[in-house]
Chain A
Amino acid sequence: MGAFAARRLAALIITMMVVSMLIFAAFEWTPGQVASKMLGPFATPEQVELLTEQMGLNRPAPVRYIEWVGNVLKGDLGYSTYFKTDVNNIIWDRLGNTLLLASIAFAIIVPCSIIFGVAAGMREGSKLDRTISVLSIVTTSVPEFASGVFLATIFVIILEWLPGASTLESGGDWSIASQLVLPVAVMVLFDLGYVVRMVRAAMVDVMMKPYIRTAVLKGLGFRKVVLGHALRNAMVVSLTVILLQINYLVAGVVVVETIFAYPGFGHMILESALSKDTATVEAATLIIVLIVVITQIAGDLGYMWLNPRIRFK
Chain B
Amino acid sequence: MSSPATLRKTAAVTVAAKPILELRDVKISYITRAGRIDVVPALSFSLAKGEALGLVGESGCGKSTVAYAIMKYLGGAGRITNGQILFNGQDMASMSEDQLRQIRGSKLAMVYQDPMSSLNPTMRIGRQLEEVPMLHMKVGREEARQRAIRFLGEVNLPDPELIMERYPHQLSGGQQQRVVIAMALMAEPDLLVMDEPTTGLDVTVEAAVLDLVAQLRHKHDTAIIFISHNLGTVLRVCDRVGVMYFGELVEEGPIKEVFANPRHPYTRGLLDSIPTMGADKHSRRLSPIAGQVPSALARPVGCGFASRCSFCEPATCTTVPIPTIAIPGEARHQAKCVRLSELPPHRRFQVVPGEATAEIAKSGETVLGIDHLYKIYRPSGTIFDSKPAEVRALTDIELSAERGRTLAIVGESGCGKSSLAKVLTGIEVATQGKVKLIDWEIGHVPVEKRNQAQKKSIQMVFQNPDSTLNPSHTVGFAIRRALQRLRGISASQAKTQAAELLRLVNLPMEFVNRRPRQLSGGQKQRVAIARALAGDPALIIADEPVSALDVSVQAAIINLLIDLQDKRDATLVFISHDLSVVRFLADHVAVMYLGRVVEYGTVEQVYAPPYHPYTEALLSAAPVAEVGKERERIILEGTIPSATKQIPGCPFASRCPRKIGSICDDQPPPEHVTQQGHRIACHIPLGDLAKLNTRAAE
Contact = CB atoms under 8 A, between A and B. Distances in A.
A306 interface: yes
Contact of B136 (A210, A214, A219, A233): A219
B196 to A, nearest CB: 13
Contacts of B257: none
A69 interface: no
A215 B122 CA distance: 13
Interface string A211-232: 1011111111100000011001
Nearest to B132: A218
A301 B386 CA distance: 18
Given A229-B123, A233-B120, A217 B73 contact: yes
A211 B135 contact: no
A147 interface: no
B73 A210 contact: no
B102 interface: yes
A233 B183 CA distance: 21
Interface string B87-125: 000000000000001111110011010100111111100
Given A210-B118, A236-B122, A308 B169 contact: yes
A78 B229 CA distance: 76
Contacts, number: 79
Interface string A1-39: 001100110000000000000000000000000000000
A-side interface mostly: helix
A310 B384 contact: yes
A34 B592 CA distance: 72
Contacts of A228: 131
A3 B169 CA distance: 22
A310 B167 CA distance: 11
A219 B135 contact: yes
Contacts of A236: 122
A307 interface: yes
A218 B112 CA distance: 12
A236 B385 CA distance: 21
Contacts of A84: none
A266 B71 CA distance: 58
A74 interface: no
A233 B122 contact: yes
B384 A4 contact: yes
Interface in A220-255: 220-221, 228-229, 232-233, 236
Interface string A288-313: 00000000000000000011111011
A209 interface: yes
Interface string A183-221: 000000000000000000000000001110111111111
A217 B110 contact: yes
A309 B110 CA distance: 25
A5 to B, nearest CB: 11
B644 interface: no
B114 A217 contact: no
B122 A232 contact: yes
A308 to B, nearest CB: 4
Contacts of A210: 112, 114, 117-118
B101 A309 contact: no
Contacts of B104: 216-219
Nearest to B193: A217
A219 B102 contact: yes
A308 B120 contact: no
Contacts of A8: 383
Interface in B349-402: 383-386
Contacts of B131: 218, 220, 228
Given A4-B384, A217-B73, A219-B136, A309 B105 contact: no
B81 interface: no
B170 interface: yes
Contact of B122 (A217, A218, A221, A306): A306
Given A210-B114, A219-B104, A308 B135 contact: no
Interface string A78-96: 0000000000000000000
Nearest to B103: A219
Contacts of B123: 229, 232
A10 B117 CA distance: 36
Given A218-B131, A219-B135, A7 B383 contact: yes
Contacts of B117: 209-211
B509 to A, nearest CB: 41
Given A219-B135, A308-B169, A214 B119 contact: yes
8 contacts: A211-B120, A213-B112, A214-B183, A216-B104, A217-B110, A218-B104, A219-B103, A220-B105
Given A210-B118, A214-B119, A218-B131, 17 more contacts: A4-B383, A4-B384, A209-B117, A211-B119, A213-B112, A214-B112, A216-B104, A218-B104, A218-B132, A219-B101, A219-B104, A219-B132, A220-B101, A220-B105, A220-B131, A308-B122, A313-B385
Interface of B: 71, 73, 101-106, 109-110, 112, 114, 117-123, 131-132, 135-136, 166-167, 169-170, 180, 183, 383-386
Q: Which 9 residue pairs across A and B have the least CB separation, nearest first?
A: A219-B105, A218-B105, A219-B104, A308-B167, A210-B117, A211-B120, A210-B118, A219-B101, A232-B122
